[in-house]
Structure 1
C-alpha cells in the first residue's frame, strides 16, 4: 500500500510538471493579463502554471516536487484542491487589490500557499508539529526578507522581477484554506 501511494505521488508530480511544461511552450496564451482576465477566464488558473522562463519553471517544479514528500500525510486530492483553489484566489486578489499588476506568471504564490496550508494542518499532529512550525517560520522569514531586503538574486536568476505580492497572497490563501479544512474536519467528522 505504501509503495502504491508513493507511485501515485510520483505520477501526480510528473503529470503536473508535464502539464506545466506544455503550457510553457505557449506561455503568452496562459499568463495573467489583467486587461482580458474575464474574457479569457482560464488565465485565473493557468497564469500560475506557466513561468517567465525555463529556469523559473525548474525552480518552481523542484519546490512543488518536494512538498508531497516532506509532508507524507497529504493525499493527492489535497494537492489537486490546492492547485484548483489557490490560483484563482491569487489572480482575483491581483485584479481587485493590486490593479497595478498587469501581467504575472509563476507557481511561487501557489507554492507558498500550499506549503502554508499543509504546514498549518500538520500543526495538529503531535509528531509533525515541530517540523510544521519550522516550515511556517521559514516561510514567514522569507516573506519578511523579501518585503524588506528584496529578492534581487532570485530576480537575476529567473530573469524577471519577483512579485512578492503573489507570495503574500498565497500565504493568506493558504491560511484561509487550512482554517476551512480544520473547521470542516472538526464540525463534520
Structure 2
C-alpha cells in the first residue's frame, strides 16, 4: 500500500513537471496578463504553471518535487486541490487588489501557499507539529526578509524581478484553505 502511494506521488510529480515544461515552450500564451484576463480565463491557472525562463522553472519544480516528501502524510488529493485552488485565488487577488501588476509567471506564490497550507494542517498531528511549526517559521522569516531586504540574488538567478506579493498572497490563501479544510474535516467527522 505504501509503495503504491509513493508510485502515485512520483507519477503525479512527473506529469505535472512535464505539463509545466510543455506550457513553458509557449509561455506567452499562458502567463498572467491583466488586460483581457477574463477573455482568456485559463491564464488564471496557467500563469502559475509557467515561468519567466528555464532557470526559474527548474528552481520552482525542485521546490515542488520536495513538497510531497517533506510532508509524506499529505495525500495526492491535497496537492491536486492546492494546484487548482491557489492559482485563481492569487490571480484574482492580483487583478482586484494589486492592479499595478500587469504580468506574472511562476509557481512560487502557489508553492508558498502549498507549503503553508500543508504545514498548517500538519500542526494538528502531534508527531509532525514541531516540524510543521518550523516550516511555518521559515516561511514567515522568508516573507519578512523579502519584504524588508528584497530578493536581488534570486532575481539575478532567474533573470527577472521577484514578485514577493505573490509569495505573501500564496501564504495568505494557503492558510485560508487550510482553515477551510480543518473546519470541513471537523464537520465531516462529527456526522
TM range (shorter): over 0.9
Distance of 2:180 and 2:141 partners within structure 1: 24
Give the C-alpha shift of residue 80 in structure 1.
0.5
Note if 1:92 corresponds to 2:100: no
Deviations 1:21-77 (A, max 9, x none): 000000000000000100000000000000000000000000000000010111111
The runs of 5 or more residues in structure 2 that have no matched partner are none
Task: Report what 2:31 is aligned to.
Answer: 31
Note if 1:8 corresponds to 2:8: yes
Task: Report what 1:161 is aligned to.
Answer: 161
Give the C-alpha shift of residue 169 in structure 1.
0.2
The runs of 5 or more residues in structure 1 that have no matched partner are none
Note if 1:41 corresponds to 2:9: no
Distance of 1:129 and 1:170 partners within structure 2: 21
How many residue pairs are counted as aligned between the two chains?
189
Deviations 1:135-186 (A, max 9, x none): 0000000000000000000000000000000000000000000000000011
Give the C-alpha shift of residue 87 in structure 1.
0.1
Task: Report what 2:173 is aligned to.
Answer: 173
Task: Report what 1:144 is aligned to.
Answer: 144
Give the C-alpha shift of residue 188 in structure 1.
1.6
Task: Report what 2:121 is aligned to.
Answer: 121
TM-score using structure 1 length: 0.99
**SS of corresponding position for 2:161:** coil
TM-score using structure 2 length: 0.98
Note if 1:81 corresponds to 2:81: yes
Note if 1:185 corresponds to 2:185: yes
